[in-house]
Structure 1
Amino acid sequence: MRPRVFGIARPSLARDEIVCLNAGMASSPTRFALSLPVLASIAAALLFGASTPLAKALLSSLGPFTLAGLLYLDGAVGALPFAFRGGSAELRRDPRQRRLLGFAVIFGGGVAPVLLLLGLRTSPAASVSLWLNTEVVATALLAWTLFRENLDRRTILAGGLVLAGGIILAAPEGAAGWKAGAHVAGACVCWGIDNNLTALVSGFTPAQTTLAKGLIAGTVNLVLGLSLGQHLPGAARVGGALGVGAISYGCSIMLYIFGAQHLGATRSQLLFATAPFLGVILAWTLFQERIQPAQLAAIPCIVAGLYFMLTARHEHEHAHEAMAHTHSHRHDDGHHTHVHPGLPSWVRHTHAHEHEPLTHSHPHVPDLHHRHQH
């Protein structure tokens, strides 16, 4: 699922560089139910889940640094056509926004994929796919300890169930592959940092953030791989890596960023926890890995965790300070009261805008507008 992008040619909107995303689909940021950000997070999970077994096949002829570089560079190519519109030049010059994006690039685009591929090189694709559930727990703990996100009992229970499902799924491996498991766990921690930082980035559209991650991290990893003697194989293998990068990294990252900015890092990451399922299925079919009964037994845990996450409700009186930022939004959510003549309130669009101070009470999630203390 790739978000459709429409340019709105209205004289009154020209300075705002409006970009409408899925204008015909409604979503509400005040209720965490089936909505455009939820669908985007699920689509991101499906695309990324496919990358694990596909990357396993590519590792037979590509080193981990070289493969990580190719995957992320082509992820940047996939985001390039959508990166020239929207965003805020003024906010992009903000040192804080640059630091947030810079650290997200380092941890999420540079370190994490290399650690994942190091683990994948010595462990079955199904096992690595299942260990990736650790990212949910890492994201939630980091969001709670470092980024002030609220964790209610239902969300904690959801995270615990997802983690339990991952443990049950990985149980057939026993004590084998501790080194590979450590690599994957390290990758999950790095992606947890990236997830929380990305949810705070303002002034950059999802496509621009994806382009920065892919271009910078991809180039650095490719240069490191070549300098370490990891040579490029034939055109077919390189083309395969580029194809996986465009779909499973480029499209997936853009969709995840869109979801995280509207749902918060923890909730979007819990949805992203569905990614291992597709990875396991492909590992079973492509690599003929044996299906373990314990893996099937873990499915109810994951499903229950997603249910508790989707039905979580958080509501209280809270205050919004004056602020300026850029992100996708609508004008029927109680937060965006500025007016665009001729633009329906339900149309989702992206541009730089300002907020006046506001105090009110409504159900909400820790998105860009709700980072308050509890």
Structure 2
Amino acid sequence: MLDIAEELSRWCEQGRDFAVATVVATNGSAPRQPGAALAVDAEGTAIGSVSGGCVEGAVYELCQQALETGESVTERFGYSDEDAFAVGLTCGGVIDVLVTPVRAGTSRAADTALRPVLAEALAAAARGEAAAVARIVSGPADLMGRALYVRPDATYEGTLGGHPELDRTAAAEAQALLDGGRTATVEIGADGSRCGEPVILLVESSVPPPRMLVFGAIDFASALVRIGKFLGYHVTVCDARPVFATATRFPEADEIVVDWPHRYLDSQELDSRTVLCVLTHDAKFDIPLLERALRLPVAYVGAMGSRRTHEDRLQRLRDAGVSELELARLRSPIGLDLGARTPEETALSIAAEIIASRHGGSGVPLTGAHTPIHHDGASAPTGRIGSVA
């Protein structure tokens, strides 16, 4: 749901009634992951997607039904061998979808409790602030349709409607997922929920875009900036040479910094989603920069250069005191072997390696391979999540 926060926040401001369908669990080769959402307003306008097209029509109808009845409902969609034309995922996966009405101007307790909480969370996410929303997808029927908006410091708005201990536990779980920018389901046992039975929560996280730091204002960097923006990164270009590090050469960069790369890196607070791409292939820039970068808890450190340059770079880093364990983190020569030659092709190979690193992909062709297509999908619960009121 938070993946379409900007549009939904606008709908809340305009006072529109809508229903939002959210993927809460997946199994197999599902096209979208938990948190993906499709919303339909009272006029029939639809935004977002839960399946990339496979079951959108059926989910659209469920949203219209939820708007009419005011009741939340969950539905499981999967591939049907018996009827090729049945509503289902032709990719062979399974998704569970929670459909929740978000209505204004009604006297129903569920409506009056839910809408302001979601409106506040959606507004925060739309502003680019870190925000998490916890919702019950399985548990006592009288708790369905409630939500908790959780901030990074674990303070929260709203209630899940049960014991206060459930809210506190849910907020702590949501904060932990928010810290990692993750969306997932969480099971809280009967003791933790104080509801007499276990509760399954969907916790959606929305965090500011991850950062991509590109060192070296060269033509390859220009192509990498463009693809980094396409992938949703906040992209910074850093180079010590002011004649090259200009807005004219990098119009799509979010930030251009003229400074020695290692000095700029020392000034930044980076997280585990940050990727560093070193394109300078000049020892006076590379070595002090990589000496620091390889000791930071970032997601990816790659450096451009030939294999000869790479071997020379490794020796220089060893001489600077970088350990073999730290050197093992270095992706160099940077990128996957695509046979790339142009700056655009090289940027694509770098982006492919970053994606493979993030999701645990092998980088080998899918044709003839026996590896999963999606490496980090969450599994659906073994039993169907029943309809809820």
State the TM-score, normalized to the length of structure 2: 0.25
Name whichever structure is richer in strand by fraction.
2
Which fold has the larger relative contact order, with Cα–Cα distance below 8 Å and residues 6 or more apart in sequence?
1
